[in-house]
Structure 1
């Protein structure tokens, strides 16, 4: 006997009708997704939430919308409908918008340039109560942060500089958050073998014995001081 899984009920908030139609068409290919409503601004979405009897799992929202922006919408949902998650889908790639979105209560941030696989993955992650920022932005934000803090190069007590690539830093952050190799591979859209290779390479670079020692080394030497 096959057990049917619960569908993820989604609302779309975007002031461009063609964008909403495109997302509906894309998500319509997946049995686990159910787009139950849409609106051109935050006000329309709040009205749907106030009147629908269908439990809404996720609101996929743009930031720039008339009447009520995505940030305002996110804050209202976090306050009034805490079970409903908000995932931002925006053209805005500046770090301040990511920060504002997460501070407003959104659980994730995607650029509209993401591919179908990452959009589907992000929705599932956010609905499962995980945070998600698209891989393009994660790489960009981490690189900026690391160069600001000079964190890519670390100088341990023996005077030997250790250089980490931006991809290694990306993996380091996820390791420090407790994710497994397989989970990291899923998040970064790469293979478990590749992640393990980066992990072993970082252990070799630092001369430590294991992953726990690697994380300790990187925190101690300022590589992970932004986490």
Structure 2
């Protein structure tokens, strides 16, 4: 079920998901009250609710709490523009099984839905590294002079890798390096392609495991 007060947002998400035979969008709602009524009717078996936080009448967090209490088999995945950790914390406390920013690409959206449906928990990679950076106060991530990686990275790619791993967003990295957000995103996608990994999280893991990056105390 898709729950968002913007019809165009629901249409956009639905147009992405209909391409995948293992997904079936069986309900849409513009607020939490409408969504809860549809779930309560039980006309369809709903596995997952993809919901925004800010909506009229009943927001996503309250809907999440009510669904978690009354329909524990239905999983809730938050999809929001809000990137502050307090909202992530509130969502987890309300029983959400995952948290995505609306800036995620199609691949990560599909991956997250599958993860949550199959009883895993998921926070999008941009938020994960933002939170990781806050946890790593007093440390920084640096490029190592030697590595076991068979993939060669340029000095600019290494700069971007280290900043991603410290939790900076693409826009923040662009500001730091005096370039555009699109250029940063292009470097990130190029590094994902050259290493053969699936997403940014796997890219950083690859670089840490192969010694391209390492932790260093300030």
> CA 1:186–1:39 in structure 2 vs 1: closer, same or farther (change >3 Å)?
same
The alpha carbon displacement at 1:198 in A equals 2.1
Is residue 56 of structure 1 aligned with residue 66 of structure 2?
Answer: no
Residues 32-77 of structure 1: CA deviation (Å, up to 9, x unaligned)? 1000001110111111111123211100000001111100000111
Q: Which runs of 5+ in 2 are unaligned?
A: 142-161, 168-196
Select the structure with the greater relative contact order (CA < 8 A; seq sep ≥ 6): 2
Q: Check the 8 A contact 2:33/2:57 in 1, yes or no.
A: yes
Q: Distance in 1 between matches of 2:92 and 2:214?
A: 34
The normalised TM-score by structure 1 is 0.67
The alpha carbon displacement at 1:169 in A equals 7.5
Aligned to 2:14: 24
The normalised TM-score by structure 2 is 0.69
The alpha carbon displacement at 1:201 in A equals 1.9
Question: 58, 65, 86: which one pairs with 1:75?
Answer: 65
Q: Distance in 2 between matches of 1:117 and 1:200?
A: 25
Q: Check the 8 A contact 1:15/1:66 in 2, yes or no.
A: yes
Q: Which runs of 5+ in 1 are unaligned?
A: 1-10, 154-164, 171-184, 207-217, 222-227
Q: Distance in 2 between matches of 1:14 and 1:63?
A: 8
Matched pairs, number = 170
How big is the alpha-carbon RMSD for the aligned residues of Structure 1 and Structure 2?
A: 2.8
Runs of 4+ with >3 A deviation: 165-170, 185-191, 194-197
The alpha carbon displacement at 1:144 in A equals 2.0
1:141-180 aligned within 5 A: 141-147=131-137, 150-152=138-140, 165=162
The alpha carbon displacement at 1:188 in A equals 3.7
